Structure 1
Amino acid sequence: MENYSEYAMSMTQVYQWCSWFKDCRTSLQDEPRSGRPNTANNDWNTARVDELIKVDKRVKVKEISLKLDIPKTNVYEIFHDKLGYRKVSARWVPKMLSDEHKRQRVEISKSCCTSIK
């Protein structure tokens, strides 16, 4: 018998679904929730954040949040999810390296290894 434990629902979720079906719920889709819609993660703000990063790669999330008047969590989400940046040595750099960048990293690593030997 195959083990599907990694795909199985938690017992808590099973109990919750049972409760929903006992209450005559027929859909497993989430119902609309109240709350404020996320309006800060739009194309205009994404472009503005990207411009600020290109001007200063050491810019902080808090600084951008204050300049653009959007929440820090949204700025961080734009950095990581929309623009694909990550923080390396206090600089924002793209997550995906180009072939040229990969080649440069290999060359630098080789030169460091030879200088250590």
Structure 2
Amino acid sequence: MASSDRIEARAVIKFCSELGKTPTQTYKMIQTTSVKNSVSRSLVFEWHRRFRDGRESLKDDEGRGRKKKYGATLVTSIADALAKDRRLKVRTLSEMFGVGYGTIHRILTEDLQMSKVHARWVPRLLQDHEKELRVRDSRTF
């Protein structure tokens, strides 16, 4: 459920709570609207209780959910290791830094914005000018 859908559902629950509706009545009313697929019965009861107890905000509480188990120092360490050797595998990085495979993968994809590059090399025929460049460069070296 998207953030805007959650806030919309909470607004409906808050409105019904302020009208004096019971959680069951609120849930039945929601089931007749387009919000029905995103709201469970237990969620309606929970938020109804929160609004009845004086809560005003429709937004999530800060600090909820799982905390990150790594900091910026680990991200920079991994970035430095990859700058030295771009061929390091996720498993190798995991062993080097003592962090789980999934954590390393998350750091690479989310924090460092890296994506998988396929190792398969598909040869193509060189053009004549490319062949001439290779010959010239090999003679130079």
TM-score by length of 2: 0.44
1:71 is displaced (CA, Å) by: 2.7
Paired letter, 2:89: K
Q: In the alignment, which residue of structure 2 is the partner of 1:17?
A: 47
1:49-106, Cα deviation, whole Å (9 max, x unpaired): 112223333322221111011232322222112211111115xxxxxxxxxxxxxxxx
TM-score by length of 1: 0.51
1:39 is displaced (CA, Å) by: 4.5
Any gaps of 5 or more consecutive residues in structure 2?
A: 7-37, 128-141
Q: In the alignment, which residue of structure 2 is the partner of 1:45?
A: 74
Paired letter, 2:117: V
Separation of aligned partners in 1, 2:69 and 2:92: 19
Kept in 2, the 8 Å contact 1:62–1:72? The answer is yes
Is the counterpart of residue 30 in structure 1 residue 57 in structure 2? no
1:17 is displaced (CA, Å) by: 2.6
Any gaps of 5 or more consecutive residues in structure 1?
A: 1-6, 91-107, 112-117
More helix by share: 2
Kindly tell me: are residues 29 and 41 of structure 1, through their superposed partners in 2, closer, same or farther at Cα, counting changes over 3 Å?
A: same
1:6-28, Cα deviation, whole Å (9 max, x unpaired): x5442239624334323443333
Of 56, 68, 90 in structure 2, the residue corresponding to residue 61 of structure 1 is 90
Kept in 2, the 8 Å contact 1:65–1:75? The answer is yes
Kindly tell me: are residues 54 and 32 of structure 1, through their superposed partners in 2, closer, same or farther at Cα, counting changes over 3 Å?
A: closer
Paired letter, 2:47: W
Kept in 2, the 8 Å contact 1:50–1:83? The answer is yes
Paired letter, 1:72: Y
Paired letter, 1:29: D
Q: In the alignment, which residue of structure 1 is the partner of 2:109?
A: 80
More strand by share: 1
Q: Number of aligned residue pairs: give it.
A: 85
SS in 1 for 2:107: helix
SS in 2 for 1:87: coil
Root-mean-square deviation (CA, aligned residues, Å) is 3.4
Kindly tell me: are residues 49 and 40 of structure 1, through their superposed partners in 2, closer, same or farther at Cα, counting changes over 3 Å?
A: same
What fraction of aligned residue pairs are identical, expressed as a percent?
Answer: 23
